[in-house]
Amino acid sequence: MTSPKGSVDVDILIVGAGPVGLYGAYYAGFRGLSVALIDSLPEAGGQVTAMYPEKLLFDVGGFPAIKGRDLVSNLVAQAAPFEPTYLLDEQAAKLERIPADGDGPDTLLVTASSGRTISARAVIISSGIGTFTPRPLPNGVAYENKGLAYFVPELAPYADKDVVIVGGGDSAFDWALALAPLARSVYLVHRRDKFRAHAHSVSLVENTTVQILVNAQVKEILGTDAVEGVDIAITGQEDVLRLPCHNIIAALGFTANLGPLLEWGLDIQHHRHIPVDSAMRTAQPGIFAAGDIAEYDGKVRLISVGFGEIATAVCNAAHAMDPSMSVFPGHSSDLPAAVPADAALPADAAVPAA
């Protein structure tokens, strides 16, 4: 439902395409509502994609164990038949309310960082811990997208490449483990001699071909148009170590903040959480919240809990925008038309990326 000008008009806008927002897209489609998801990251999946796509999750109902990356692609596949509009690499910046002309809900007009506007009858905020910004690699700016990356949406581009991973946390070790069998060489460079990553991940990587350099830092990136090598300074060694390198993955962590959402007139607690009632309503009519950002007594911040919350939010939003729609959706197993007959098979759905 994107117009030529890029503005979007939908029943429900979901702010945040993390696991919870993605499940909300399915649920909105299931309820017959049009839906758009906006995310400031270039790829769907929220914390799962950004921080632990290669890790196994053991606490998602129905999956004894599932890799983060696979969970996200299953969620995308589940929503795909309803053709949600993905607005990636765009932050939801401004909110305006256009009062209803008589009965019916107000129109909520959200302006994205790109300048695009999204008009919706309800907004569900599933923005987790906020907009993630990767911690930059010092002196790396000129090489961003020219061999230096902060996210690894796909492993294939690293096949047969010389890769240097910078960092000592879980993401750095997860990438090292995933790329070891694929890349021509993998160095993991960390400025200390202790790691934040789990000991188990460290010992898995130690048993691969990955070369770990501790007390080491990228001193200079080499290359004219793209990364061609790196000079590594190692504490106590006079000479730098020059490594051939096509790709640098800087896994130095992320900062996250709610940024513009703080100006939306919501009752945001401690700059991080939005209180909701049992229907996942915020204090603002037409605006709901679910997932990590939603707060109530007894809250448990888990993906499985967020799934239930956003189903509740969608069903209550549906009822609020059209009182003839009941809050209870019926059982999907009772509804043969729950997925359109010409729906793409789940396996056809690629994880959207900007």
Ligand X SMILES: Cc1cc2nc3c(=O)[nH]c(=O)nc-3n(C[C@H](O)[C@H](O)[C@H](O)COP(=O)(O)OP(=O)(O)OC[C@H]3O[C@@H](n4cnc5c(N)ncnc54)[C@H](O)[C@@H]3O)c2cc1C
Q: Which is nearer to ligand X, 42 or 105 (by Cβ)?
A: 42
How far apart are alpha carbons 126 and 39 in whole angstroms? 10
**Site for ligand X (CB under 6 A): which residue of 7, 52, 117, 231?**
52
Q: Which is nearer to ligand X, 51 or 79 (by Cβ)?
A: 51
Residue span binding ligand X (CB under 6 A) among the ranges 17-25, 142-150, 180-188, 332-340: 17-25
Cα–Cα distances (Å) from 115 to 16, 109, 264, 303, in that order, read 17, 12, 17, 31
What is the total count of residues that contact ligand X (CB under 6 A)?
A: 38
3-state secondary structure of 294: strand
Q: How far is the CB of 234 from ligand X (least distance, A)?
A: 29
With binding defined as CB under 6 A, does residue 351 bind ligand X? no
Q: Which two tokens stand for residue 232?
A: 């590594």
Q: Which is nearer to ligand X, 270 or 331 (by Cβ)?
A: 270
**Site for ligand X (CB under 6 A): which residue of 12, 33, 109, 129?**
129
Q: How far is the CB of 222 from ligand X (least distance, A)?
A: 32
Cα–Cα distances (Å) from 184 to 205, 244, 246, 298, in that order, read 15, 11, 10, 49
**Site for ligand X (CB under 6 A): which residue of 34, 47, 85, 185?**
47
Rounded to 5°, angle at Cα 267 from 263 and 272: 80
Asked if 111 and 94 count as a contact pair (C-beta separation under 8 A), the reply is yes
Q: Which two tokens stand for residue 275?
A: 């209180």
Within the chain, residue ranges assigned H as helices are 19-30, 46-51, 68-79, 170-179, 199-206, 303-321
**Site for ligand X (CB under 6 A): which residue of 8, 10, 20, 212?**
20
Residues 61-120 that bind ligand X (CB under 6 A): 91-92
Q: How far is the CB of 136 from ligand X (least distance, A)?
A: 17
**Site for ligand X (CB under 6 A): which residue of 9, 12, 14, 21?**
21
324's CB contacts (< 8 A; 6+ apart) are none
Q: Which is nearer to ligand X, 16 or 147 (by Cβ)?
A: 16
Q: Which is nearer to ligand X, 212 or 261 (by Cβ)?
A: 261
How far apart are alpha carbons 197 and 253 in whole angstroms? 12
Q: How far is the CB of 22 from ligand X (least distance, A)?
A: 7
Task: Quickly count: other Cβ atoms within 10 Å of residue 285's Cβ.
Answer: 12
Asked if 105 and 320 count as a contact pair (C-beta separation under 8 A), the reply is yes
Residues 284-323 that bind ligand X (CB under 6 A): 291-292, 301-304, 306
Asked if 13 and 43 count as a contact pair (C-beta separation under 8 A), the reply is no
Residue span binding ligand X (CB under 6 A) among the ranges 42-50, 73-81, 329-337, 340-348: 42-50
User: Where on the chain is the footprint of ligand X (CB under 6 A)?
Assistant: 15-21, 38-41, 46-48, 51-52, 57, 59, 91-92, 126-132, 170, 259-261, 291-292, 301-304, 306
